[in-house]
Amino acid sequence: MSARPILRTAGWPGVLNLETKNIGLAGGLSLRQLRGLIAAGWEIGAHSRTHPDLTTLDDRSLRSEVAGSRRDLERLLGVKVATFCYPAGRNDARVRATVRAAGYSAATTVDPGVAAPDGDRFVLPRIRVDGSDGPQAVLARVRGASTGGRATSGPPS
């Protein structure tokens, strides 16, 4: 079951964090598919160019992965890319500073939970949804996280 009709029924926008190296490759999404998701109201976020552990990169490579992925996506898809998702959730102060300097407005981790209005926008938790999750599982995770229950998180992306 695809997330697209479930999200549409619930009135929720989808957010797709993309590694630019996978666009158009076997197993990845095509430009046509991505444009269809954008037309359906999905947000595109960056997830780096090649999915490295950003905390291990030198400054030049870090900037390329972070700022370069944003430029690549904006050029390919013609949309503004405002958010970033840390590969495997790996981040530190230097990585977060690079994400801010690249012009992103927020970044997500793999930490389970719901963001607080006064929280740091560059270490946002999230509610993970697996491709096999049905609507009830998604709603249970949202409700559990919203009420302070521990949201289930899958393996780091």
Which CATH number is 22's domain given? 3.20.20.370
Quickly state the pLDDT bin for 3 (edges 50, 70, 90). Answer: low
Per-residue pLDDT of 37-50, as tens digits, reads 899 889 999 999 99
- Answer whether residue 57 is part of any domain: yes
Domain count, the chain: 1
Q: What contacts 141, CB < 8 A, 6 or more positions away?
A: 127, 128, 129, 133, 151, 152
Neighbour tally for 136: CB within 10 Å: 8
- Answer whether residue 115 is part of any domain: yes
- Answer whether residue 151 is part of any domain: no
User: So what's the pLDDT on residue 154?
Assistant: 41
- Answer whether residue 92 is part of any domain: yes
Per-residue pLDDT of 140-152, as tens digits, reads 877 777 665 543 4
- Answer whether residue 126 is part of any domain: yes
Per-residue pLDDT of 86-126, as tens digits, reads 999 999 999 999 999 999 999 999 998 888 889 999 999 98
Which whole number is the average pLDDT over 124-140? 79
- Answer whether residue 33 is part of any domain: yes
Are residues 151 and 128 in contact, defined by beta-carbon separation less than 8 angstroms?
A: yes
